[in-house]
């Protein structure tokens, strides 16, 4: 997935739990926080994108050294806050939903992505900050803010974004959908025949599964599960005149948006939100009582897991225990409709023990991730044109009779998903290895994969065929823990050697090693990638993968798997960098090499593409490179704590962000002066560099480095649609209106020959 402030001082005192005060419909002031104030490439090796200058990858003389380069000190205020930067990223996702040049169902999808992103942000990042605040940990962020100060600013920024989200949904998206025959209506907007039809649906399918829960001296306030949609209801006894509170959970095992027409209808579609249907029939749930009021609310809970691996002998059992506890994490956000009464709000705040600053008011529908449902509509006229990934030329027609192993003996192959097909490259590699009688062993890491994974099935087939198969299944892959536990058990039952990695570290690297008997010799074939072994996400995530028979890389992966599965300790590798320690040190050393070249007046330059750039040591190395005159160009999808274009600090650094149809997920590094290209699984974040097993591999074949250069040239072209980070820390759309604009992802589709219908 499309992962923006900033200076005022807030009190670090604990926030008091006071009843919220009523203000205008735009929000309640008591809950609103105050606003703070790329060796020259072989030109014949790869075709350059149209209109892309090749001069970008020819090292030029470095810019003049700034006067500040002589000092060893960097300013204290040199970082942007990572949490606010994440919110800026989600604001860019929202900006795509605002873009009227996008097909309307694509706009709806980006609203759903925005909402889903925000849920995870609260469940993990905000939850972590609240835990630090509540335990009294006053550890400040890199930009100097306490947890409390960050929470205050997050609250203010988030409320602004949610209000913008509502405006885009209500004022822009709904009218445009209706103009194309797609309507999301309320109960009152429906015609009588449709209401009668839905009443029958309610009685047959919804009513039997509903359980109204009363709150009184004999019935305590019910547990509200995280991310569930609920109706808070007040009912009155007409005889005794007593009002009571009740909660009705909206079932999550039926569609949230109920379609009125037949699914065969393609030209029009009318939907009613499920909560509207339930609200219209509350009388059936409380016969003999009068429904005085009802409101929709939603609670987000802390979903971060803390597994005491040094204490637990069986990590799988420990994960299962913690997954059970996740349901009962403390609340970190309460979403309510802007029409909720003060009395009802105060009751929820009190019973849920939610701070008033953690309330988010929403106008319109709560939880717009339900808009993902609209993707199933058969309206190709309202979506991006479908595409068919190209089969990489090395594996294309005419090559199908040749095994992948024979192809790799001729040279390395670099695949670029989703433009190059995953199924005819990486998946085929594993499947051929499983079926090949000469293959002795397959070793692979699995972080996230699909529910019907052909990769896992191939590993099972290989084990059943008597091959030695090792699968490192990362049980701690956030929000995929349960699926990975099931995969681990399935693989174990098939005879696969399943390991869970190293204590205290997540195994996030994307690596596969195939050991094959070829005559009297053993040859190793490898895949190292930037993305998961998941054929479904490989169609929407932009990622790179290196397929190789390099003896050096084969030896490296052999050493790495021995570390992961046994007690081996290995520090030095040949063609790869491995975290912890290895990647940060390797990147910093290469940045410093470019810095030294600049000081000596030699050609230099750094180009990198990452998901996030947060690590202070790497950022500081880039600042020093910039001060020495090294031109640094960064493409970052999500979080960026580096300040770009700041006088006396980062004049030579340009940071841009590309969001679009595909989620920019690859990590690529080009050190121009020393002429090295690297790809890998790690982002420049503490968790990747310190608490995960990650790999970066050096790409050396000139044909493949030219391919990487072409990609970077396109992403960094002045006319490429993107956002640029300015010296103030704000993201600006680029190019400006009226200027020539090119789409990087469309250009990649064209270059790779993917078929777009």
Among 182-191, 328-337, 414-423, 704-713, name the one with the lowest average pLDDT: 328-337
- What is the structure's pLDDT at 502? 75
Which pLDDT score is estimated for 324? Answer: 52
| Mean pLDDT, residues 45-52 taken together | 37
Q: What is the pLDDT of residues 463-474, one digit of tens each?
A: 999 999 999 887
Query: pTM of the entire structure?
Result: 0.86
| Average pLDDT, rounded, for the chain | 86
Flag whether pLDDT at 68 surpasses 90: no
Q: What is the DSSP letter of 134?
A: H
Beta bridge partners of residue 231, listed in sequence order: 248, 296
User: In whole angstroms, what is the distance from residue 23 CA to residue 502 CA?
Assistant: 53
- The DSSP bridge partners found for residue 514 are 442, 525
pLDDT digits (tens, 9 = 90+) for 217-230: 767 898 899 999 99
Tallying the residues shown for the chain, one arrives at 757
- Residue 504 falls in which region: left (phi positive, over 0), alpha (psi -120 to 50) or beta: left
User: Tokens 């569930």 appear where?
Assistant: 228
pLDDT at position 530 is: 97
**Mean pLDDT score, 252-263:** 89
Is the pLDDT at 653 greater than 80? The verdict is yes
- pLDDT at residue 436 greater than cutoff 70: yes
pLDDT at 505: 85
Mapping DSSP to helix (H, G, I), strand (E, B) and coil, where does residue 5 land? coil
- Please tell me the predicted confidence (pLDDT) of residue 45: 35
Give the confidence band of 581 by pLDDT, cuts at 50, 70, 90.
confident
Average pLDDT of the residues in 653-675:
97
Backbone phi and psi for residue 333, each to the nearest 5 degrees, phi listed first: -160, 140
Mean pLDDT of 54-75: 51
Please give the pLDDT value at position 32: 35
pLDDT above 60 (res 481): no
Give pLDDT tens digits for 606-619.
999 999 999 999 99
Q: Catalytic one among 148, 392, 417, 508?
A: 508
pLDDT, tens digit, for every residue of 184-194? 999 999 999 99
- The pLDDT assigned to 584 comes to 96
Does 602 score more than 70 pLDDT?
yes
Residue with tokens 């072994």: 533
508 tagged catalytic: yes
Q: Model confidence over 69-107: pLDDT tens digits?
A: 444 589 999 999 999 999 999 999 999 999 999 999 999
Grade residue 281 by pLDDT with cuts at 50, 70 and 90. very high
Structure tokens at 35: 């606003």
Helices (H) then strands (E): counts for the chain: 20, 29
Average pLDDT for 195-207: 96
- Residue ranges and CATH numbers for the domains of the chain are 152-382 (3.30.1840.10), 387-571 (3.30.870.10), 577-756 (3.30.870.10)
């Amino acid at each position: 997935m499309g992962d923006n402030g900033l200076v005022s001082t807030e009190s670090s005192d604990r926030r008091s739990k006071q009843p919220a005060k009523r203000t205008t419909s735009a929000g309640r002031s008591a809950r609103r926080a105050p606003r703070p104030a790329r060796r020259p490439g072989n030109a014949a090796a790869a075709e350059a994108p149209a209109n892309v200058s090749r001069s970008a990858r020819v090292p030029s003389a470095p810019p003049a050294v700034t006067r500040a380069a002589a000092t060893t000190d960097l300013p204290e205020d040199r970082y942007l806050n990572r949490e606010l930067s994440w919110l800026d990223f989600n604001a860019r996702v929202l900006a795509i939903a605002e873009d009227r040049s996008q097909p309307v169902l694509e706009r709806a999808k980006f609203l759903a992505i925005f909402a889903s992103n925000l849920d995870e942000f609260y469940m993990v990042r905000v939850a972590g900050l609240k835990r630090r605040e509540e335990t009294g940990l006053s550890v400040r962020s890199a930009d100097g803010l306490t947890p409390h100060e960050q929470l205050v600013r997050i609250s203010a920024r988030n409320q602004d974004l949610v209000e913008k989200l509502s405006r885009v949904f209500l004022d822009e998206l709904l009218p445009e959908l209706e103009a194309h025959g797609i309507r999301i209506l309320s109960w009152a907007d429906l015609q009588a025949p449709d209401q009668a039809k839905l009443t029958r649906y309610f009685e047959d399918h919804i009513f039997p599964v509903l359980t109204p829960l009363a709150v009184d001296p004999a019935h305590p306030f019910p547990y509200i599960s995280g991310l569930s949609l609920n109706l808070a209801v007040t009912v009155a006894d007409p005889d005794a005149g007593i009002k009571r509170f009740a909660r009705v959970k909206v079932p999550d095992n039926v569609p949230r948006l109920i379609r009125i027409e037949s699914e065969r209808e393609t030209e029009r579609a009318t939907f009613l939100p499920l909560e509207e249907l339930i609200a219209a029939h509350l009388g059936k749930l409380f016969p003999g009582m009068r429904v005085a009021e009802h409101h929709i609310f939603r609670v987000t809970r802390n979903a971060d897991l803390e597994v005491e691996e040094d204490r637990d002998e069986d990590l799988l059992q420990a994960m299962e225990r913690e997954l059970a506890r996740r349901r009962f994490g403390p609340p970190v956000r309460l979403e309510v409709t802007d029409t909720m009464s003060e009395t009802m709000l105060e009751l929820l705040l009190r019973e849920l023990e939610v701070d008033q600053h953690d309330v988010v008011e929403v106008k319109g529908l709560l939880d717009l991730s339900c808009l993902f449902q609209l993707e199933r509509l058969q309206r190709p006229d309202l979506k991006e044109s479908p595409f068919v990934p190209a089969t990489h030329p090395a594996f294309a027609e005419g090559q199908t009779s040749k095994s992948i192993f024979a192809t790799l003996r001729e040279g390395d192959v670099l695949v670029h998903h989703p433009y190059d097909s995953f199924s005819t490259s990486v998946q085929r590699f594993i499947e051929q290895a499983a079926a090949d009688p000469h293959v002795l062993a397959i070793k692979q890491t699995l972080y996230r994969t699909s529910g019907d994974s052909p990769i896992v099935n191939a590993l099972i087939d290989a084990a059943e065929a008597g091959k030695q198969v090792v699968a490192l299944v990362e049980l701690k892959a956030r929000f995929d823990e349960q699926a990975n536990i099931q995969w681990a058990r399935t693989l174990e039952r098939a005879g696969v050697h399943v390991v869970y990695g190293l204590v205290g570290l997540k195994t996030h690297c994307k690596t596969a090693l195939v050991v094959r008997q070829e005559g009297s010799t053993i040859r190793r074939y490898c895949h190292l990638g930037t993305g998961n072994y998941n054929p479904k996400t490989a169609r929407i995530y932009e990622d790179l993968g290196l397929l190789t028979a390099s003896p050096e890389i084969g030896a490296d992966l052999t050493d790495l798997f021995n570390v992961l599965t046994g007690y081996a300790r290995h520090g030095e590798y040949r063609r790869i960098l491995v975290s912890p320690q290895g990647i940060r040190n390797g990147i910093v050393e290469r940045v410093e090499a470019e810095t030294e070249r600049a000081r000596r007046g030699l050609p230099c330059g750094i180009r990198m593409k990452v998901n996030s750039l947060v690590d202070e040591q790497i950022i500081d190395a880039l600042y020093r490179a910039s001060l020495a005159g090294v031109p640094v160009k960064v493409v970052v999808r999500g979080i960026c704590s580096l300040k770009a274009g700041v006088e006396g600090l980062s004049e030579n650094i340009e940071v841009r962000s590309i969001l679009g149809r595909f989620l920019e997920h690859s990590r690529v590094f080009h050190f121009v002066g020393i002429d090295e290209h690297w790809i890998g699984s790690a982002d420049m974040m503490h968790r990747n560099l310190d608490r995960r097993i990650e790999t970066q591999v050096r790409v050396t074949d000139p044909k493949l480095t030219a391919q990487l250069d072409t990609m970077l040239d396109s992403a960094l072209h002045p006319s490429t649609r993107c956002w640029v980070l300015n010296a103030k820390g704000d993201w600006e759309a680029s190019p400006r209106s009226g200027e020539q604009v090119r789409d990087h992802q469309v250009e990649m589709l064209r270059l790779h020959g993917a078929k777009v219908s």
